[in-house]
């Protein structure tokens, strides 16, 4: 009986062993299948990535070829632009009469200009400082033909002037003027004009900065606002010529009124021209907004002397009599201090915002007013006064006529 039980037990153990072995084998088989599937999937992904890498190499090779061909394409494009615009750009000449102890003396002046069609009226656009006070004005085309011209309208505050000419329609090939509102620093620009009398000269550069201000004696101390700064060489004789984008469209009017500005050129933005043309074409004065203050840029040293924690903005030094600023209660400087050997009038309001827009300096202030406001408009100016921030509402006036 005992022997029989032992045999039975051995049989049971054998069955259990076989069952466990079968289960283990099945589990291992399933695991192997699972691993094989994972391996197949990873192999598929590796093959897919290999194809993508190969495709990217082909694309990179293609792009390298395209990049190598860009200089010739760019040169061709510039040549094409010049061919399209050269006949629309003129040399503007005139004479200024000066009284001397020996009688009248005639001084020749020269600049550039371009043809433009404003609402069906063909005009020549140039700088005010080129033709201001001139007689016997003429415009000469690249083919050598010269015709008389007359001033229709001008604005010393923006250094713009428009002329009429008796040139025949066959000579008048207008350029396209587009908005300058979308210009970006670094954008390629082209200037065409007559530097030093060299008619039809073309230079290329980039936009170096936007919203600059420049001064000119004819403005009576006011700054010309919202000016484009460019690396394209702008020399005497270029003044009044077009600043173009790479499509050959006018985005500015070059001006060379800043003396000794080597390597730095300036242009009046096309938006200023488009904004003023409805007035200039009728010989009317464009109404520039007027705040009526004089001041200086804030800096660290001034802020330290005034015990302020604001190092940016525009410090009001003087509020003009009967100006919008005076009527609104803006305050000018109260006393003079010496900062690094320079007398500075401090104690006035520091303008830091207009209508919620940050004002970092005088360029920002002048540009904001010129771009975004008009006479009789009320604006909110945020100032720092005696260490406290407050808002002042000012109703702008019309800037007095220069001269």
Domain finish residue from 171, 200, 233: 171
| SS3 (DSSP) at 282 | coil
pTM of the model: 0.77
Residue 293 shares a structural domain with residue 394: yes
Residue 234 shares a structural domain with residue 164: no
Torsional sign, CA 44, 47, 48, 49? positive
**Domain presence at residue 270:** yes
Please check the confidence at residue 87 and state whether its pLDDT lies above 80: yes
pLDDT for res 72: 52
129 tagged catalytic: yes
pLDDT for res 366: 95
Question: What's the CATH code of the domain at 158?
Answer: 2.40.10.10
349 tagged catalytic: no
Residue 137 shares a structural domain with residue 214: no
> Whole domain around residue 266: which residue ranges?
188-275
Residue 298 shares a structural domain with residue 383: yes
Domain finish residue from 125, 143, 171: 171
The secondary structure of residue 88, as a DSSP letter, is: G
Q: For 188-227, write each residue's pLDDT tens digit.
A: 999 999 988 888 899 999 999 999 999 876 566 788 999 9
pLDDT for res 223: 85
Q: For 339-361, write each residue's pLDDT tens digit.
A: 999 999 999 999 999 999 999 99
88 tagged catalytic: no
Average pLDDT over residues 31-52: 77
Please provide residue 310's backbone torsions phi and psi, each rounded to the nearest 5 degrees.
-105, 120
pLDDT for res 342: 92
Name the catalytic one among 129, 140, 158, 226.
129
Residue 219 shares a structural domain with residue 266: yes
Residue 270 shares a structural domain with residue 294: no
**Domain presence at residue 211:** yes
Question: What's the CATH code of the domain at 308?
Answer: 2.30.42.10
Residue 161 shares a structural domain with residue 224: no
pLDDT for res 167: 96
Domain finish residue from 125, 140, 171: 171
Name the catalytic one among 132, 159, 226, 363.
159
* Alpha-carbon gap, residue 211 to 228, rounded angstroms: 6
* Alpha-carbon gap, residue 133 to 161, rounded angstroms: 12
pLDDT for res 311: 96
Residue 217 shares a structural domain with residue 316: no
Residue 294 shares a structural domain with residue 376: yes
Confidence at 11, pLDDT banded by 50, 70, 90: low
Residue 147 shares a structural domain with residue 197: no
CB 326 within 8 A of CB 289: no
**Domain presence at residue 47:** no
Name the catalytic one among 112, 156, 201, 239.
239
Mean pLDDT, rounded, of the chain: 89
pLDDT for res 10: 66
pLDDT for res 301: 95
Strand positions, DSSP E, 241-377: 242-244, 250-255, 265-269, 289-290, 293-297, 314-319, 335-339, 342-346, 350-354, 357-358
**Domain presence at residue 345:** yes
User: Domain total for the chain?
Assistant: 3
Residue 393 shares a structural domain with residue 309: yes
**Domain presence at residue 32:** no
């Amino acid at each position: 009986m005992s022997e029989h039980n032992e045999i039975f037990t051995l049989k049971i153990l054998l069955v259990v062993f076989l069952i466990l072995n079968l289960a283990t084998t099945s589990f291992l088989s399933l695991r192997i299948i699972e691993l094989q599937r994972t391996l197949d999937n990873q192999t598929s992904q590796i093959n897919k990535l290999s194809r993508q890498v190969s495709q990217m190499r082909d694309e990179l090779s293609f792009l390298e070829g395209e990049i190598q061909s860009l200089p010739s394409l760019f040169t061709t494009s510039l040549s094409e632009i010049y061919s399209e615009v050269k006949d629309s750009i003129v040399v503007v000449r005139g004479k200024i009469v000066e009284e001397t102890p020996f009688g009248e003396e005639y001084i020749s002046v020269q600049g550039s200009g371009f043809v433009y069609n404003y609402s069906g009226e063909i005009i020549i656009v140039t700088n005010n400082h080129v033709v201001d006070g001139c007689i016997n004005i003429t415009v000469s085309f690249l083919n050598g033909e010269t015709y008389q011209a007359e001033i229709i309208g001008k604005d010393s505050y923006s250094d713009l002037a428009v002329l009429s000419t008796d040139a025949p329609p066959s000579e008048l090939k207008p350029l396209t003027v587009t908005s300058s509102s979308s210009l970006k620093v670094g954008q390629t620009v082209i200037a065409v004009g007559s530097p030093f009398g060299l008619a039809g000269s073309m230079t290329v550069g980039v936009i170096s900065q936007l919203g600059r201000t420049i001064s000119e004696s004819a403005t009576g101390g006011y700054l010309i606002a919202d000016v484009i700064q460019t690396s394209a060489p702008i020399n005497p004789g270029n003044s009044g010529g077009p600043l173009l984008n790479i499509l050959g469209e006018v985005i500015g009017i070059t001006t060379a009124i800043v003396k000794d500005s080597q390597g730095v050129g300036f242009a009046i933005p096309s938006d200023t021209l488009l904004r003023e043309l409805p007035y200039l074409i009728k010989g009317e004065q464009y109404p520039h907004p007027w705040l009526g203050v004089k001041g200086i840029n804030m800096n660290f040293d001034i802020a330290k002397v005034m015990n302020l924690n604001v190092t940016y903005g525009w410090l009001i030094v003087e509020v003009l009599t009967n100006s919008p600023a005076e009527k609104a209660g803006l305050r000018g400087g109260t006393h003079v201090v010496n900062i690094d050997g320079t007398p500075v009038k401090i104690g006035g309001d520091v303008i830091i915002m207009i209508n919620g827009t940050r004002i970092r300096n005088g360029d920002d202030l002048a540009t904001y007013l010129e771009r975004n406001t008009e006479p009789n408009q009320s604006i909110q100016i945020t100032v720092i006064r005696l260490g406290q921030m407050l808002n002042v509402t000012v109703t702008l006036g019309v800037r007095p006529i220069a001269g």
